[in-house]
Amino acid sequence: MATPKTDNNKIKQRDFIALARLISGIENLDEQALGLADELYLEPKYSHVIGITGLPGAGKSTLVNQLISHLVKADKTIAVLAIDPTSPFTGGAVLGDRIRYHGSEKSEGKVFFRSMASRGHRGGISNATADILHVFNAARFDFVIVETVGAGQLEVDIAYLTDTLVNVLTPEAGDDIQAIKAGIMEIGDIFVINKSDLPGADRKQAQLQMMLADVKLQSSEEQTWQIPVLKTKAENGEGIVELLKMITSHTQVQSPQKQSGRIQREILDCIHCRLSTITDRSNDPEWWNQARLLVADRKITPHQAAQLFLQTHKFGLPDKQ
């Protein structure tokens, strides 16, 4: 049987079988797997994490495939994490571990693909995502690509997990309004108008540039990066080279504020995940019966019952002296 040290050594050697096994353990909140992930977190930063987000039908998967092809040609290693909607019946990814990238022999050993369920997380991001990204970093993939559910305004949280966030839109009307409602205009690092051969692409590009200029004027933070609005036709690879150039350029202007915010958000997500696990797994009928009676009799409030639950499970705040 492999020891934790052996498993971590295999991860650092980019062993795909060990990677798949560890990721499954992290998804299932296996304590040993989470312990291994904690050890791997201590590895120095290496991978550049690219988030690909946007509305359904924008062509995100096709764009990801083109990025992979170009990066493989440049002799880069890539890990892809595709966040799928959660099945209401099984709790797993609807599409499972499907293989969407069909590369050449040159890609063998260079491209690791994993699909996982969002598990209903409000930001379209699985609670396990951050841990898995640290595992990919420890495996020293040059690039990690995170493709999200495609739930539009529910995907703002991805900004806190990526180094470069690419928002993919199409020339069709309505995308820009949805983006503004979602707050996506304020978090994107690069905007891409895909399917740019469709009517309205130039008009959409001009609209986005104007809206981004307005966001910049209203922002109180110093802007070190001029957000580009690019046009691509992912189906035939048009515009992909320019997109990769912009992603590479963005690696040079990483914001300390974003890094600080990312760490804080990751800590909060870990807290929420642990609390969710406790409530999901709690099976104490006596406690619940007592709590329901106390609340029904108006002896305590639901908020007080919640605090009692946390204290009972040793996750409450210390009693005031």
Q: Is residue 35 part of a domain?
A: yes
Q: Is residue 31 part of a domain?
A: yes
DSSP code at position 258? H
Q: What are the backbone angles phi and psi of residue 307, rounded to the nearest 5°?
A: -65, -40
Least Cα distance to 286 among 267, 309, 302, 269 occurs for: 309
Q: Is residue 230 part of a domain?
A: yes
Rounded to whole angstroms, the Cα distance separating 225 from 252 reads 10
Alpha-carbon dihedral 208, 214, 218, 220, rounded to 10 degrees: 60
Q: Is residue 127 part of a domain?
A: yes
Q: Is residue 66 part of a domain?
A: yes
Q: Is residue 262 part of a domain?
A: no
Q: Hey, what are 1's tokens?
A: 């049987």
For residue 183, give every residue at least 6 positions away whose Cβ sits within 8 Å of its Cβ, in sequence order, or none.
153, 156
**How many independent structural domains does the chain possess?**
1
Going by their DSSP bridges, the two strands 229-231 and 164-169 should be labelled as unpaired
Task: Please say whether the beta carbons of 65 and 235 come within 8 A.
Answer: no
Task: Please say whether the beta carbons of 72 and 111 come within 8 A.
Answer: yes
Rounded to whole angstroms, the Cα distance separating 262 from 243 reads 24
DSSP code at position 86? B
User: pLDDT in tens for each of the 321 residues of the chain?
Assistant: 455 566 789 999 999 999 999 999 988 878 899 889 989 998 999 999 999 988 778 889 899 999 999 999 999 999 999 886 543 333 444 443 334 555 555 667 899 999 887 654 444 466 688 889 999 999 999 999 999 865 544 466 677 788 999 989 888 756 555 655 556 666 788 999 999 999 989 988 898 888 888 777 766 666 778 889 999 999 999 999 999 999 999 988 877 777 777 788 778 877 777 777 677 656 778 888 999 999 999 999 998 888 888 787 665 444 444
Going by their DSSP bridges, the two strands 111-117 and 229-231 should be labelled as unpaired
pTM, entire model? 0.80
Rounded to whole angstroms, the Cα distance separating 215 from 3 reads 51
Q: Is residue 287 part of a domain?
A: no
Rounded to whole angstroms, the Cα distance separating 120 from 287 reads 27
Instruction: Judge residue 159's burial from the number of C-beta atoms within 10 Å of its C-beta, 0-12 exposed, 13-18 middle, 19 or more buried.
Output: buried
pLDDT of the residue at 253: 81
**Domain of 229, in residue numbers:** 4-255
pLDDT of the residue at 125: 60
CATH number of the domain residue 149 falls in = 3.40.50.300
User: Residue 147's beta-bridge partner residues?
Assistant: 52, 82
Least Cα distance to 159 among 189, 182, 196, 122 occurs for: 189
Q: Is residue 303 part of a domain?
A: no
Rounded to whole angstroms, the Cα distance separating 68 from 104 reads 11
Q: What are the backbone angles phi and psi of residue 166, rounded to the nearest 5°?
A: -105, 120
- Looking up tokens 């036709």, which residue turns up? 233
Q: What are the backbone angles phi and psi of residue 300, rounded to the nearest 5°?
A: -140, 160
